[in-house]
Amino acid sequence: MAAVNEAPLANAVLVIDDEPQIRRVVRNALQPMVSRVLEAATAREGMDLAAAEQPALVVLDLGLPDLGGMEVCRDLRSFTAAPIIVLSARHGEREKAALLDAGADDYMTKPFGTLELQARVRAQLRRYTASASASSRVAAGDVEIDLTRRVVTRAGVEVHLTPTEWGLLRAFVAHPGQVLTHNQLFRKVWGGSAGDAQQYLRVYVGQLRRKLESDPIRPQLIRTEPGVGYRFEPRD
């Protein structure tokens, strides 16, 4: 397995799922990456474990018998900042977006692959430990972003951005590696005030990509999460 030889990224990861077989698969996938995998079969048990053990990440199944996924997300978010990766057997994009709005950080649709799960967990743990030292200067490929000076360059050449494009880029840079839903972007860029501009969110993202990405059809910086939102992936 790809992650076997990596040093543990965190002390403990908590898996909340009522299906013992899924817990087994998740445990076996994550054991090589972390020092401990905690398991809970119900939301109540999971919440107690999360409060007592302070895990660095929570893998949460949506189909728990005792509480809806949305409530568990909100409850967990009320006392821990640890990333929450949701496992769902349903494909509804609206449901995914609602979960992210409720505090989840990422989601995976069943059936998912082991490598994919490991990659997502690794990305969330890195983001979680790095977010404390968020910088105002970001370099991603040949793009450099200086938030304080409001300057963006691509291959050393300054790129002119409109105020809305700046607002969008600032929101993305502040949440690297994280899925931002359309709703979250509306709130961050337009402050939640309804207006004509909001319905053009995807067009503004298109414009930003055409200015920053070397191939806007195959974007590397601003990835699309279909039906849910966008994910900013700065890569050096």
Partner 1 sequence: MSVTDSSRVTEHAPEGRHPTWRGWPTWLGALVVATILMHAVRARLDEAHVALVFLLVVLGGSAAAGRRLGISLALLAFVAFNWYFVPPYGTLLLANPLDWIVLLTFLVTGIVAAELLDRQRRATRIAEQRADEISRLAKVRDEAEALRRADALKDALLAAVSHDLRTPLTTIKGIAHEIVGGANAERAEIIESEADRLSLLVDDLLEMSQLDAGALPIEIAINTADDLIGAALQRTQGILRGRPVEIDLPEDELLAGRFDFSHALRVIANLVENAVKYSPDSSPIVLGAAVTDGTLSFVVEDSGPGIPEEERDRVFEPFRRGSQIPRGVRGAGLGLSIARRLAEVQGGSLRYEPRPGAGSRFVFSVPAAEATPPE
Binding flag, residue 227, partner 1 (CB under 8 A): yes
| Residues that contact partner 1, how many (by CB under 8 A) | 47
Q: Which of 31, 36, 42, 63 binds partner 1 (CB under 8 A)?
A: 63
Q: Considering the complex, what minimum distance in angstroms separates the CB of residue 140 from partner 1? A: 17
Q: Which of 31, 131, 153, 207 binds partner 1 (CB under 8 A)?
A: 207
Q: Which of 68, 119, 130, 210 binds partner 1 (CB under 8 A)?
A: 210
Site string for partner 1, 102-141 (x = CB under 8 A): -------xxxxxxx--------------------------
Binding range to partner 1, per CB under 8 A, among 42-50, 123-131, 132-140, 205-213: 205-213
Question: Which residue number, 35 or 109, has a Cβ lying nearer to partner 1?
Answer: 109
SS (H, E, C) the chain: CCCCCCCCCCCEEEEECCCHHHHHHHHHHHCCCCCEEEEECCHHHHHHHHHHHCCCEEEEECCCCCCCHHHHHHHHHCCCCCCEEEEECCCCHHHHHHHHHCCCCEEEECCCCHHHHHHHHHHHHHHHHHHHHCCCEEEECCEEEECCCCEEEECCEECCCCHHHHHHHHHHHHCCCCEEEHHHHHHHHHCCCCCHHHHHHHHHHHHHHHHHCCCCCCCCCEEEECCCEEEECCCC
> The tokens of 146 are what?
């200086």
Q: Considering the complex, what minimum distance in angstroms separates the CB of residue 26 from partner 1? A: 8
Binding flag, residue 159, partner 1 (CB under 8 A): no
CB-side exposure of 200: number of CA atoms within 13 Å?
9
Binding range to partner 1, per CB under 8 A, among 5-13, 71-79, 139-147, 196-204: 196-204
Binding flag, residue 65, partner 1 (CB under 8 A): no
Q: Which of 149, 194, 226, 236 binds partner 1 (CB under 8 A)?
A: 226
- Cα–Cα distance list, 144 to 50, 127, 138, 159, 170 (Å): 38, 19, 6, 10, 13
Binding range to partner 1, per CB under 8 A, among 5-13, 74-82, 87-95, 138-146: 87-95
Contacts to partner 1 by CB under 8 A? 1, 19, 21-22, 24-26, 28-29, 63, 89-94, 109-115, 162-164, 182, 196-197, 199-200, 202-207, 209-210, 216-219, 223-224, 226-227
